[in-house]
Amino acid sequence: MLTKTQVKEALHIIEDMYPEAECELIHSNPFELLIAVVLSAQCTDSLVNKVTPGLFAKYHAPDDFAAVKQEELEQDIRSIGLYRNKAKNIKKLSESLIEQFNGEVPETREELMSLAGVGRKTANVVASVAFHTPAIAVDTHVERVSKRLGICRWKDNVREVEETLMKKVPEEEWAQTHHRLIFFGRYHCKAKDPQCPSCPLLDMCREGQKRMRQREVKHG
């Protein structure tokens, strides 16, 4: 496991690699962000970004999503995985926003998590990006990088990964750390082909060193 000092050092290196890291989901307000994050579950941001411009041109507010027939909404997001379930959740959460929050996206994680299709990760992203609330959302990239680097344990569940990061990273850096770890995982420390040989973190990465040893044995 990395010490707090090593975690700080690793995050500084990742910051140097991806100084512009930010939310890549295209949106112009908290409601659009909420819809985009719900759509992005088990799906790439780039695919969501192909669908949302047309979607947000057609539907501007919770009222529009609440009013449309579910079948029509399904067709509008058909190219995205789990589109039936997501269409149902978007309609339900839009109705909840109208009935419980005057059509506005709530700012707290607890209120966000009361909405259909919104789990802790989605709520953290919306609270952090839209309302600048300190939060670390743990998606597949954040979890993979944290475990490979040894910031947390392999056996940790998503909530434990989040809590470990919150302990080891200063609160004012939570939001940016989330984005930087995503960029690092998405573009460098990829699931299937991590760039270990060229990685500036190799000397402190247990998984990278193990992979390099296996490589040497294989090619030795």
Write the DSSP string, the chain. Answer: ---HHHHHHHHHHHHHH-TT----S--SSHHHHHHHHHHTTTS-HHHHHHHHHHHHHH--SHHHHHHS-HHHHHHHTTTSTTHHHHHHHHHHHHHHHHHHHTTS--SSHHHHHTSTT--HHHHHHHHHHHH--------HHHHHHHHHHTSS-TT--HHHHHHHHHHHS-GGGHHHHHHHHHHHHHHTS-SSS--GGG-TTGGG-HHHHHHHHHHHHHH-
Is residue 123 located within the same domain as residue 148? no
107 shares a domain with 48 = yes
Question: Is 69 marked active-site?
Answer: no
Give pTM, 2 decimals: 0.92
Residues 44, 102: one domain?
yes
Domain end marker among 106, 129, 152: 129
In a domain, 94, yes or no: yes
Residue 199 is labelled as binding a ligand: yes
Catalytic site includes residue 147: no
Q: Choosing from 45, 64, 88, 139, which is the catalytic residue? A: 139
Per-residue pLDDT in tens (0 to 9) along the chain, 220 residues? 999 999 999 999 999 999 999 999 999 999 999 999 999 998 999 999 999 999 999 999 999 999 999 999 999 999 999 999 999 999 999 999 999 999 999 999 999 999 999 999 999 999 999 999 999 999 999 999 999 999 999 999 999 999 999 999 999 999 999 999 999 999 999 999 999 999 999 999 999 999 999 988 877 6
Residue 152 counted as an annotated binding residue: no
- Tell me, yes or no, whether 35 lies in a domain: yes
Which structural domain range is residue 178 located in?
4-18+137-218
